[in-house]
Amino acid sequence: MFESLSQKLQNITSKIRGSARVTDADIKAMMKEIRMALLEADVNYSVVKEFVADMSEKCKGADVMKSLTPGQQIVKIVHESLVELLGETSSKLTVSPSGFTVIMLYGLQGAGKTTTAAKLANILKKGGKRPLLLSLDVHRPAAAKQLEVLAQKVEVPSFIMPEEKDPIVIAKAGVERAKYLLCDTLLVDTAGRMTVDDEMMDELIKIGDFVKPHEKLLVVDAMIGQEAVAVAQSFEERIGLDGFIMTKLDGDARGGAALSIRKMTGKPIKYICVGEKIDNIEEFYPNRMADRILGMGDVLSLIEKAQQTIDEEEAAKSVERMLSSTFNMDDLLAQFEQLKKMGSMKDVLGMIPGAKGKIKEEDIDDKVIDINMAIIRSMTKKERRVPNILNASRRKRIAAGSGTTVQQVNKLVQQYEQTAEMMKKFSKMTKGGKKGFGKFPGMGKMGGLGGLGGLGGFGGLGGKNSPFK
Ligand SMILES: Nc1nc2c(ncn2[C@@H]2O[C@H](COP(=O)(O)OP(=O)(O)O)[C@@H](O)[C@H]2O)c(=O)[nH]1
Ligand SMILES: [Mg+2]
């Protein structure tokens, strides 16, 4: 996400970050570079122009040159300006005081409406709500079926009428079903077309008049670049939106649409989607996004993800064991399980500051976790508890039992030893100085992240490259 822009901005700002002396000409040169980087990332021209002018003004106003750390001061201004551009505060979904909230998704065909509807239903469900997914896509009967399948996957009720051609008839029945099932949120998936057209808008307005959405969200595909901004503007004009959900930011989208859309429409981005899987969705926080773009990592998003997916009790147990230095194979297995729940390793590692670039692609093969889990599961209870009894013949038996090789078993044992060693260090550290978990302030506060210690045992990450040392 934003990789190329992020890289460029990091290069530009790192040049100035440490500077004790910054001249007017330095700032000018830097602004020119930022301008180029943004344009290359496909940010709207007028947005770039205003953004850079604004930043230059702020640099002057802050009297950067006279400050003690002019380089840092400038980076701070760039960061603040980015946050402002992205929308300053995060935008929560509206909840109707009536106890029945209607959220309607709009967008072109293929933007990701149906997928996103299921992702939102999953989030709402996890937040204790009772959503119902309603498909009003009357043009493609397969779309209704697609929604039904996704609804079953996230275990929320859905309502579809694939044969019915009048969306209002379906909407009416859908609302009744939702109320009958005592649902408190209706998520309405609508039909899109290849391009914006009047017929589509008229149909959407008609549906809107009937279901009266509290939240009108446009799902936009970031991959279509500036075109996304044009689409957003036409929907905003005809429908009047409450916000956006940007999808496919995991692809090779340069990010320009995400950076332009707020400024060009005045409406906030509420969620971003970074993959096809149900949990590839994140609440949008301008501040954190700016951190990410400028390479400050996104520890907060990571912690949140960990909190959502890691079993608290399991995590507390493993932290406890870590600290009492009796970390064994069962703990390692539990950590692998939790890591798997968090999603792909690549996504997780992308959020750790400093981890990017330091870890080789081949080291973040998710399959390695599966192999390692299979190996541990082939161990006896005793072997798991007291791994140092794992002699050659036991390793051979385990390899045969798990369908792996002795080399793979050896590698896992080695990783276990490295992780256990690391845990011992943590244990000393926390007993001694209460410094939290080393480099990551705040992680110590959060028991859940204890589970991440397992990263040390994962696919060679426990070696020199471990971000957790
Ligand atoms: N890579 C990626 N693919 C996505 C994302 N969101 C949706 N898709 C895919 O985009 C395609 C179209 O999605 P769909 O929900 O059917 O779009 P709709 O026509 O607007 O309902 C599907 O193949 C989805 O799996 C995303 O955030 N990232
Ligand atoms: Mg659809």
Q: For 212-248, write each residue's pLDDT tens digit.
A: 999 999 999 998 888 899 999 999 999 999 999 999 9
User: Is residue 113 lining ligand 1, measured as CB closer than 6 Å?
Assistant: yes
Find the 114 Cα to ligand 2 centroid distance in Å: 4
| Token representation of residue 287 | 């501040």
Q: Which residue has the higher pLDDT, 355 or 126?
A: 126
What whole-number distance in Å separates Cα of residue 28 and Cα of residue 63? 14
Alpha carbon 133 to its chain centroid, in Å, reads 23
pLDDT digits (tens, 9 = 90+) for 246-286: 999 887 667 788 889 999 999 999 999 999 999 999 999 99
Q: Pocket of ligand 1, candidates 245, 269, 276, 279: which has the most ligand atoms within 8 Å of its Cβ, to mutate?
A: 276
Q: What is the pLDDT of residue 115?
A: 97
Please give the torsion angle defined by the CA atoms of residues 5, 8, 13 and 19, in that order, rounded to the nearest 10 degrees. Answer: 180
* Residue whose pair of structure tokens reads 């959503």 in the numeric block: 131
Residues 299 and 352 sit within 8 Å (Cβ to Cβ): yes
User: Is residue 291 lining ligand 1, measured as CB closer than 6 Å?
Assistant: no
What whole-number distance in Å separates Cα of residue 310 and Cα of residue 321? 16
Find the 109 Cα to ligand 1 centroid distance in Å: 9
* Range name among 144-148, 218-222, 456-460 with the lowest pLDDT average: 456-460
Question: Closest Cα to residue 82, out of 48, 46, 59?
Answer: 48
Amino acid at 461: L
* Atom in ligand 1 nearest the alpha carbon of residue 111: 20
pTM of the shown model: 0.67
User: Is residue 135 lining ligand 1, measured as CB closer than 6 Å?
Assistant: no
pLDDT digits (tens, 9 = 90+) for 189-201: 999 988 899 999 9
Domains of the chain: 3-86 (1.20.120.140), 101-296 (3.40.50.300), 302-457 (1.10.260.30)
The DSSP element (H or E) to which 221 belongs, if any, is strand 215-221
Q: Is the pLDDT of residue 424 over 80?
A: no
Find the 257 Cα to ligand 1 centroid distance in Å: 17
